[in-house]
Amino acid sequence: MQNGSTDIQQTLTQAIDQASDLHTALDNVLSIICEFTGWDYGEAWIPFKEGRILELHPVCYISPHRSDADRYALEQFRNCTKGLTFPYNVGLPGRVWASQRIEWLNNPASQSERIFLRHHIAKAFGVKTGFGVPVLAGDRVLAVLAFFMLDSPMEDKGLTELISTLTNQIGNKLENFHL
């Protein structure tokens, strides 16, 4: 995995360096991480309103490797998420924002609203696993990336550590886009 992690790190760095704006940079980051890890869906949450809430960024990733029905389910999960915001320490994105740490979520559909506000949406569209990771520049959270899967893998500490390391390394580069 060491060689693979070096490859993804170089790919992410190049993609961000070549991006002309935040939208393109986040699109590249979500696509590269999901393709490398095999996750089905990725989204980005950005602090707005003077850092008081997280809003869903327009860019997302939906795996082209899933069936048409699965892609449709992920698109509906995304559509139902549009317009939601998360205050500090509320919901998966808000908790990751507050803790500045990765959080893994098994079976979000069975979680209480306190743990996963979108549990009904996850149940309706078959989302089985998720995790959130902060993108940091120093001690400032620039974004929270959330990844979801229609399968139920066991928590993979190696994967979460790799993603955490990668997002920490790209934080300073994303800060150049004036988040």
Domain limits of the chain?
2-175
76-86: per-residue pLDDT in tens?
Answer: 999 999 999 99
Question: Does residue 126 contact residue 150 with C-beta atoms inside 8 Å?
Answer: yes
Task: Return the bridge partners of 132, or none.
Answer: 103, 146
pLDDT of residue 179: 54
Cα–Cα distance measured from residue 113 to residue 105, given in angstroms and rounded to the nearest whole number: 13
Query: In the predicted model, is pLDDT for residue 13 greater than 90?
Result: no
Q: For residue 166, is pLDDT > 80?
A: yes
Q: What does pLDDT average to over the chain?
A: 91
Confidence of residue 3 (pLDDT cuts 50, 70, 90): low
Confidence of residue 164 (pLDDT cuts 50, 70, 90): confident
Percent of the chain with pLDDT over 70: 97
Say if residues 74 and 62 touch (Cβ distance below 8 Å). yes
- Say how far apart CA 175 and CA 113 lie, in whole Å: 32
pLDDT in tens, 15-71: 988 999 889 999 999 999 999 999 999 999 999 877 789 999 999 999 999 999 999
CATH topology of domain 2-175: Beta-Lactamase (3.30.450)
The predicted model gives 140-164 an average pLDDT of 90
Q: How many helices (H) and strands (E) does the chain have?
A: 6, 6
> How sure is the predictor about 1, in pLDDT bands with cuts at 50, 70 and 90?
very low
